[in-house]
Amino acid sequence: MTQATTSDNQADSGGAVSHSDLYAKRKQIYPKLAHGRFRLVKWIVMAVTLTVYYAVPWIRWDRGEGIPDQAVLADFASEKFYFFFIEIWPQEAYYLAGLLILAALALFLVTSLLGRVWCGYTCPQTVWTDLYIWIERAFEGDRAARMRLDKSPLGFNKLWRKLGKHAAWLFIAFWTGGAFILYWHDAPTVAQGWLSGEAPLSAYWFAGILTLTTYFLAGTMREQVCTYMCPWPRIQGALTDEHALNVTYRYDRGEPRGPKRKTESWEGRGDCIDCNQCVQVCPMGIDIRNGSQLECIHCALCIDACDEMMVRVDRPTGLIAYDTEIAVAARSEGKPPPRVRLVRMRTALYAGLIVAIGALMLFGLMSKATYEVNVLKDRSPPFVRLSNGDIQNGYALKLVNKSTAARKMSVSITGVDNAELKVVGLESEEMMRFIVPVAAHGVDRYRVLVVVPAASDISTINFVISDLDTGEEITNRVPFQSGER
């Protein structure tokens, strides 16, 4: 899909790769500060996403006695995941799968509409790198100053600026890792314990890992993460198409490019004055005029840089803009550009899938039962013949109570005459009916025996478990074995 616009600007296309290229050193990128609407949007997005990241673990959500009151919490110790009103138990992990599928589809949809806006604005790698570059700029100045500083010999000036920058980076990295562990434990408790050295070892461990990854990924590795480590740029090629609104250099308007004196006429030449501003602001170190590229994260800073220059040379803005491949191609052939089509087969499919899966999950969450019953038949022995010839099967009865109140459940069996039910450790209330207490918000296990007269030829029985207060009833059909089959 790469549009080769100018041959002279194409970086060494093909040809032999020498050994030195294979071991080529990374070229340090010094992104220049851009000014404009997209830079403003990025500042706002950064502020919002960072606030969300740091603030969310502190939001409280009352769930009742003995249950964590943290709005968003992955509680590994008691194997629950909390998200505001949603509570997910281990056996409901499909909701998490659904959530991930929704996230993936949303990413697909956005990519097919607007290209890599995720990469350009909201990806943590982008947000933290942006934050780190901001700090770098505060200590070392903008692009030209930074390049000068790096070339200058080590002196007091260079030393304190570098030390200050890395100290500030490490400080932010530390708070990033520290905030991460708040999502896995009760935030106030773990924050207090963390400082007094009483938090679990895993908290220190993960905070340490996140501190280091933040420091290295956002501080020193930066664009290499996107280009070499992240799978998204590869997947992206399959998701974007010529209808997607991407950050695009409109070569139909810009070419032929070249430097221009004020006295020269615009006649017979393109609008691009080859000022290189789009390259200088690029955090990925690429030239957007080479067309859509694997490295481009579509942060739109080159649009800001170019617009600023276009205003200065008194030409219309938008030489670099969100545009589609087909529109640029059509204009360069002198045809009117086709209308931007937001509703396409692909986007409609993604949107439809998002709505369908979202609705399915919402329905599931709304109609979730407040308790669950699992009856597991003993595998060994498969059945037992009693002295009078009756057949006995053993079961493990597991009652999962998802509500915050203790309950009383009635357990009985149907589906066979003269069957006898026993719950180990409990006395029968009345005709083969047991009242079993179930603790609040937990799983209770009972050992259950069922005895059936020798003559009855059955292969299944039904366990009926009902809540004595609410009348909710669950019937569980389980196998009954009465001979070697």
Partner 1 sequence: MTDDNKPVDEHSGLQTTGHSWDGISELNNPLPRWWLYTWYITIGIAVIYMILMPAIPALPGLGTNTPGLRNHSDRDNVSLAISEMQQKRQSDATALLDASLRDIETDRDLQQFALAMGESLFGDNCATCHGAGGRGAKGYPVLADDIWLWDGTLEGIETTLRHGIRHEEDEDTRFSAMPRFGQDGFLTAAQISDLTEYVLHLSDRSDDPEAVERASGNWVAQCSSCHGDQGKGDRTQGAPDLTDADWLFGDSKRDIFDTIYHARNSHMPAWEGRLDDASIKALAVYVHSLGGGE
Contact residues toward partner 1 (CB under 8 A) are 16, 18-19, 22-23, 378-382, 384-387, 389, 392, 394, 424-426, 437, 444-445, 447, 449
Q: At what angle do helices 156-181 and 201-214 cross, to 10 degrees?
A: 140
Helix (H/G/I), strand (E/B), else coil: 4: coil
How near is the Cβ of 452 to partner 1 at its closest, in Å? Answer: 13
- Please say which residue, 19 or 234, places its beta carbon nearer to partner 1: 19
Residue 20 or residue 263: which is nearer to partner 1 going by CB? Answer: 20
Q: Which is nearer to partner 1, 320 or 438 (CB)?
A: 438
Distance of closest approach, residue 470 Cβ to partner 1, in angstroms: 22
Q: Which residues contact 329 (CB under 8 A, 6 or more apart)?
A: 3, 242
In 306-321, which positions are buried (b, 16+ CB within 10 angstroms) versus exposed (e)? bbbbbeeeeeeeebbb
- Choice between 116 and 441, CB closer to partner 1: 441
* Smallest distance, partner 1 to C-beta of residue 75, A: 22
The nearest distance, CB 228 to partner 1, in angstroms, is 10
Least Å distance between CB 429 and partner 1? 15
Which C-beta is closer to partner 1: that of 148 or that of 385? 385
Question: Least CB distance from residue 424 to partner 1, whole Å?
Answer: 4
Q: Among 228, 233, 32, 214, which residue's Cα sits nearest to residue 127? A: 214
Q: How far apart are CA 39 and CA 127, in angstroms?
A: 12
DSSP letter, residue 433: B
Query: Which pair of tokens denotes residue 432?
Result: 């083969």
Q: How far is the CB of 482 from partner 1 (least distance, A)?
A: 14
Q: Which is nearer to partner 1, 379 or 485 (CB)?
A: 379
Closest CB to partner 1 among residues 162, 422: 422
Torsion sign (Cα): 439, 442, 447, 449: positive
* Cis bond upstream, residue 90 (ω within 30): no
Nearer Cβ to partner 1 (341/385) = 385
State the nearest-atom distance from the C-beta of 205 to partner 1, in Å. 20
Q: Provide the strand spans (E) within 315-459.
A: 320-323, 371-377, 384-385, 391-401, 407-414, 420-423, 434-438, 442-452
Give me the long-range contacts of 341-349 (CB less than 8 A, separation at least 24): 341/243, 342/113, 344/112, 344/243, 346/112, 346/241, 347/109, 347/112, 347/113
